[in-house]
Amino acid sequence: MKEKQTKTISHTDIVYTAIFGSLWGLSEIFFGTALQTMRIPFRGAIMSVAAVMILTCSKEFVRYRSSIIVIGAVAATLKAFSMMNFSITPIVAIFLEALIVEAVFLIMGYHVVSSMIGGGFILLYTFTHGLIMHGIFFGSQIYRLYINILKEIASWLNVHEGNLYLFLIAIALMYFVVGAVFGSIGWLIAQRANKIIQEDLP
Amino acid sequence: MNKNLLLIMFIIFSAAILPQYILPPVCLFTIALFFFYRKEVFRKMKRKEFWIFIFIISFVQPILFGEKDISILGIPYSSNTLWIGISMSLRAIMIMTAFSFLMIMSKAEKMELFWQRVGIGHFDTIFNETQNVLPQLKSLLQNSLTEFKKKNGKKTILLHPIDFAAHTLAKIIKTVNNSTNTKQ
């Protein structure tokens, strides 16, 4: 029975998945290019905020299991087609973000709290994305270098090393809070949009 | 499995398990192979930020950290940190060239096939639908912006962004739904 449910999705689901996949793909292409050209800092975080709003919004309309992963696949494919040189990093990032939100909704269900947690985790992933990629490219030794740098900064500033770790945790928490706020905004937009659609129905 | 993907996985796996003293020559050998086989893999490494970072890791780090046991041009260096820095940089260059190689060999068009293989059902149907949706989206986004401005004034978008986003989304969903229902 379960297998049957996952294999058959309605035409409306297909259309809604296409809409949200296109919206995310367009925002990735548009913001990605614009922010890159303008060399604005925190590009990743800004793009993730857009992703959080689209994804938390989408689950209100496309409720079938793994719908967000399909939306991510559509957005990643659109992004791949738009790139002059095919690059794997943004594709992986899009897919991982979709996977995170889908996992949160699968475990917690869809409501404002899960939208906030999903949004928070996406931004948290954005914060750690650079560190993860550095680990892949340079190996685990890079983390020792970062720890040494932190120790050195702590001695220059004459503060305890632990305070700098606390500072990093505070930044990560800030990212989580920003993601949670935008997750709730995405959920709110979805509720209002759904209400407008229901009101217009004959 | 794709043989290029296997090659990349082998390179990353080797970089992860090889001991520190063997890694630099292996990396150099792999980079040289890529250089003779596919020079275009190095095109992606033109960014100066990357080379500044490599320089810091390889040559600035040994001045700052570790036990200083050698002197080069009168500057005290830590030979152990220098070796670690160089091997880290070579590892990064090797993995980057390996990824570049994978990207050159892969094509965006193959992604559709990849999603289906991964088990994302209905991907082809949904992606075909996306091609119908995309042209409508652009004009719908522009229309709803002008419509909302006319109806509520320019400032309302900034004052009520959630309302604006909700109206735009509702309009997109209704219009696309109607047009696909008509086509059916």
pLDDT digits (tens, 9 = 90+) for B42-60: 876 777 888 898 999 888 8
Token couple for A81: 């087609």
Calculate how close chain B gets to A10, using CA atoms only, in Å.
11
B87 occurs within a structural domain: yes
Is residue B112 included in any domain, yes or no? Answer: no
Please answer yes or no on whether A189 and B106 come within 8 Å at the CB atom: no
Give residues with Cβ within 8 angstroms of A29, minimum separation 6.
A78, A79, A82
CA angle B176, B179, B184 (to 5 degrees): 125
In a domain, B111, yes or no: no
Contact B180 A15 (CB under 8 A): yes
Which residues of chain B are within 8 Å of residue A142 when distances are taken between CB atoms?
57, 88
A-chain CB neighbours of B134 within 8 Å are: 22, 26
Determine the residue of chain B that is closest to A153 in CA distance: B64
Q: Same domain, yes or no, for B11 and B73?
A: yes
Q: Let me know whether B12 and B89 are in one domain.
A: yes
End-of-domain residue from the set B77, B106, B135? B106
B72 shares its domain with B154: no
Cβ of residue B111 closer than 8 Å to a chain A Cβ:
yes
Q: How far apart are the first and last CA of chain B?
A: 39
Q: Are residues B87 and B149 in the same domain?
A: no
Q: Return the half-sphere exposure (C-beta side, CA atoms, 13 A cut-off) of residue B5.
A: 5
For residue A3, the model assigns a pLDDT of: 42
Does the beta-carbon distance from B122 to A9 stay under 8 Å? yes
B121 touches A: beta carbon within 8 Å: yes
Quote the minimal CA–CA distance from A128 to chain B in Å. Answer: 18
Asked whether residue B161 is domain-assigned, the answer is yes
How many angstroms separate the CA of residue A168 from the nearest CA in chain B? 21
Tokens 């990353």 belong to: B12
Each residue of B90-123: b (16+ CB within 10 Å) or e?
Answer: bbbbbbbbbbbbbbbbbebeebbebbeeeebebb
Backbone angles phi, psi at A148, to 5 degrees: -60, -45
Residues B144 and B100 in one domain: no
List of residues 6+ apart from A70 with CB closer than 8 A: A17, A21, B120, B122, B123, B126
Helices A43-61 and A161-200: crossing angle in degrees, nearest 10, is: 40
The span from the CA of B114 to the CA of B119, in Å, is: 9
Percent of chain B with pLDDT over 90: 3
Nearest CA in chain B to A58: B169
Q: Are residues B22 and B102 in the same domain?
A: yes
- Looking at the structure, tell me whether residues B82 and B157 fall in a common domain: no
**Whether the Cβ atoms of residue A86 and residue B108 lie closer than 8 Å to each other:** yes
Do residues B102 and B156 share a domain? no
Q: Are residues B64 and B146 in the same domain?
A: no
- Same structural domain for residues B81 and B125? no
**Is B128 inside any structural domain?**
yes
- For residue A189, the distance in angstroms to the closest alpha carbon of chain B comes to 5
Q: Which residues does residue B75 pair with via DSSP β-bridges, in sequence order?
A: B72
Q: Is residue B18 situated within a structural domain?
A: yes
CB atoms B103 and A70 under 8 Å: no
- B85 and B136 part of one domain: no
H or E element at residue B124 = helix B123-152
Size of interface A-B (CB pairs under 8 A): 139
Domain span holding position B79: 3-106
Q: What is the pLDDT of residues B136-162, one digit of tens each?
A: 888 888 888 787 777 777 667 777 888
A12-24: per-residue pLDDT in tens? Answer: 889 999 999 999 9
User: Residue B44 domain-assigned?
Assistant: yes
CB pair distance less than 8 Å for A83 and B108: yes
Structure tokens at B51: 């080379």
Task: Give the three-state DSSP class for B22.
Answer: coil
Residues B17 and B100 both lie in one domain: yes
In a domain, B14, yes or no: yes
Residue B184: predicted pLDDT: 60
- The verdict on a CB contact (< 8 Å) between B126 and A18 is yes
pLDDT value of position A177:
97
Q: Do A16 and B167 touch (CB under 8 A)?
A: no
Q: How far apart are CA B2 and CA B111, in angstroms?
A: 13
- The residue among B74, B106, B138 that closes a domain is B106
Q: Please give chain A's pLDDT, 202 residues, in tens.
A: 344 444 577 888 899 999 999 999 999 888 888 887 777 888 888 999 999 999 999 999 998 888 999 999 999 888 887 776 666 778 888 989 999 999 999 999 999 999 999 999 999 999 998 888 888 888 888 888 888 888 888 888 888 878 888 888 999 999 999 999 999 999 999 999 999 988 876 6
Number of structural domains chain B divides into = 2
